């Protein structure tokens, strides 16, 4: 890789890392795991930079991130850890109102199974169509629809006082 290529790569990484970190955080629910996910995806993407630079390197990088996270969840199934939930995790009231909603939504997303959480992030945060989500996850559009429906239904159960958007088709 010559100096111009390295400069373009460095500029891309510098400019897009904050957006990639936000998506990674939504997928993992943990800042440190999100940093690891972005770093791992970059490590897989950089060797292909020359062929990606004129295409859609960010799209490729996001797909690598999603698939890497799904692989991590699959590995996690084999090694179950029990998470403790206690009364200490009650969010304090915030006069802005939006913070309480974000905290409640983040906690509710953590209660969703990994596949449903991924579909919610892709559909509603990343604003991808069902077809695009199916391509990213390597599944059918029907699977995306059913996971989205189940996830939104579960979120409605977990957050009865919050007005959720209708499921988009």
Per cent of the chain over pLDDT 70 is 80
Residue 24 structural domain = 1-79
162 and 109 in one domain?
Answer: yes
In a domain, 4, yes or no: yes
Domain final position from 35, 52, 79 = 79
Residue 166 has pLDDT above 70, yes or no: no
70 and 143 in one domain?
Answer: no
In a domain, 86, yes or no: no
Per cent of the chain over pLDDT 90 is 28
Whichever domain contains 161, its CATH number is: 1.10.10.10
98 and 70 in one domain?
Answer: no
Domain final position from 50, 79, 108 = 79
In a domain, 88, yes or no: no
Domain final position from 44, 79, 114 = 79
Mean residue pLDDT of the chain comes to 82
Instruction: Find the mean pLDDT for residues 42-62.
Output: 82
* pLDDT for residue 48: 82
Query: How many CB atoms sit inside 10 A of residue 125's CB?
Result: 13
100 and 152 in one domain?
Answer: yes
75 and 103 in one domain?
Answer: no
In a domain, 109, yes or no: yes
Instruction: Find the mean pLDDT for residues 5-19.
Output: 88
Residue 57 has pLDDT above 70, yes or no: yes
Helix segments in 79-140, DSSP class H: 98-110, 114-120, 130-137
In a domain, 84, yes or no: no
Residue 33 CB-density burial (10 A; 0-12 exposed, 13-18 middle, 19+ buried): middle
pTM above 0.75, yes or no: no
Q: Are 34 and 20 in contact (CB under 8 A)?
A: no
Number of domains in the chain: 2
Instruction: Find the mean pLDDT for residues 37-63.
Output: 84
In a domain, 89, yes or no: no
Residue 49 has pLDDT above 90, yes or no: no
56 and 20 in one domain?
Answer: yes
120 and 55 in one domain?
Answer: no
């Amino acid at each position: 890789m010559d100096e111009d290529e390295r400069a373009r790569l460095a500029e891309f990484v510098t400019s897009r890392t904050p957006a990639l970190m936000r998506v990674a955080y939504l997928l993992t629910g943990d800042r440190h795991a999100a940093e690891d996910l972005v770093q791992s995806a970059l490590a897989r993407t950089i060797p292909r930079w020359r062929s990606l630079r004129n295409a859609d390197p960010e799209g490729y990088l996001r797909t690598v991130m999603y698939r890497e996270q799904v692989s991590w969840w699959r590995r996690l199934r084999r090694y179950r850890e029990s998470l403790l939930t206690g009364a200490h995790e009650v969010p304090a009231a915030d006069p802005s109102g939006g913070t309480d909603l974000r905290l409640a939504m983040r906690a509710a997303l953590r209660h969703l199974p990994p596949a449903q959480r991924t579909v919610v992030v892709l559909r509603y945060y990343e604003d991808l169509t069902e077809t695009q989500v199916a391509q990213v996850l390597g599944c059918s559009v029907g699977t995306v629809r059913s996971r989205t429906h189940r996830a939104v239904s579960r979120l409605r159960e977990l957050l009865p006082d919050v007005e959720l958007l209708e499921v988009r088709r």
